[in-house]
Amino acid sequence: MELKRVVVTGLGALTPIGNTLPEYWEGLKNGKSGAAPIKQFDASLFKTHFACEVKDFNVTDHIDRKEARKLDQFSQYAIVSAREAVANSGLIESEPNLNRIGVIWGSGIGGLKTFQDEVTNYAKGDGTPRFNPFFIPKMIADIAAGHISIEYGFRGPNYVTVSACASSTNAIIDAYNYIRLGKADAIVTGGSEAGVNEAGLGGFNALRALSTRNDSPETASRPFDAERDGFVLGEGAGALILEDYDHAIKRGAKIYAEVLGGGMSSDAYHMTAPHPDGLGARNSMIAALEDAELDSSKIDYVNVHGTSTPLGDVAEVKAIQQVFGEHAYNINISSTKSMTGHLLGAAGAIEAIACVMAVQEDIVPPTINHENEDPALDNKLNLTFNKAQKRTVNYAMSNTFGFGGHNTTVIVKKFTK
């Protein structure tokens, strides 16, 4: 069968460096750090005292107070970013067939704060089981997609992918496949996460995964720097409207970019550590290139997973060099996690948005906070250190990897008819 072309017609972002798409993109271009001391709770007894929190966000500015109480923070973030993307797309105004519009979302954890609070309250009580009636529907990861579909009446495919930090890229790839197979006209996709809480911080601290640069939070996320010491926990959401090309053209939609291919793989190596030679990352990128029927020499920009961990950054660079060979020196490579921190299951969504905007505006966002060369890396690569760079970006690739060895890659291209 002939596969449909899939385009991006709407975007929405709620991030630690901007609460809307324009604010987020400006933050990326300007190399803005979203890291600061944690405000949502007292983190003074934890090894890490800081995170990349969403700032100046009052949920009741967006959602009725009574309804907001029924939603975990990750669902609140999902709804707000999805609303921006849907409005941005003009999809509803075109009076679409709601049976052919779906929601495929991603979240690595779901309602962690809800789970933490309910269990803590029970443990502090007298043993009498008193639980919020919304405990379960607030907590479960799939509920974010359900709320978005309920809000708009979207009756197409509806679910949430869970593959740790690869979750929202998995969601984007699934949405892409449903549309190109002709099973939907449009899908709201992306992801959300709200892991900046005691359980999230404590859990990742126990894994020794987080930076402890408490004296300088804003410089703590420093991918590829010799003194990197772990990732910075982030939160927020990103939403994309993927749409059948013919459907988008018929309704006169603005098209931001075209989705060209997606790849997935498993390291099959370790519970939390990447394969040291980047085997799974390599296979994911190759699968995406094959799916897109694209030669690796066409890629202009790679938005890497680049979490600022000692092992992960090296493994990913090795994988890129294996996939691209000499062309690796012609590519711009950057980690926007240096600015946003690591949004866990939502990382792939906001990073795919960064790639879409890069091909839209021919600007590569930087990897900030680089001060010291790491001898374990090939420093002849263009890792876009500290300042955004102007260049023609026709094809961009986004990598996201997750605990369990999950690897995902998506490729977008500049839109041409």
Q: Which residues are catalytic?
A: 165, 305, 342
Burial class (CB in 10 A: 0-12, 13-18, 19+), 277: middle
> Left, alpha or beta for 197 (phi > 0: left; psi -120 to 50: alpha)?
beta
Per the CB < 8 A criterion, the answer to whether 75 and 14 are in contact is no
**Interatomic CA distance for residues 284 and 298, integer angstroms:** 17
**Interatomic CA distance for residues 175 and 7, integer angstroms:** 11
**Hey, CA dihedral for 193, 274, 409, 171, is it positive or negative?**
negative
Per the CB < 8 A criterion, the answer to whether 67 and 147 are in contact is no
Integer-rounded Cα radius of gyration of the chain: 20
Sheet with 158-161: list strands edge to edge.
Answer: 158-161, 101-106, 186-194, 235-244, 6-14, 257-266, 406-413, 395-402, 301-303, 332-334
The per-residue b/e assignment along 247-273, b for 16 or more CB within 10 angstroms, e otherwise, is bbeebebebbbbbbbbbbbebeeeeee
Distance between the two ends of the chain, CA-based, in angstroms? Answer: 21
**Interatomic CA distance for residues 107 and 388, integer angstroms:** 29
**Interatomic CA distance for residues 184 and 363, integer angstroms:** 32
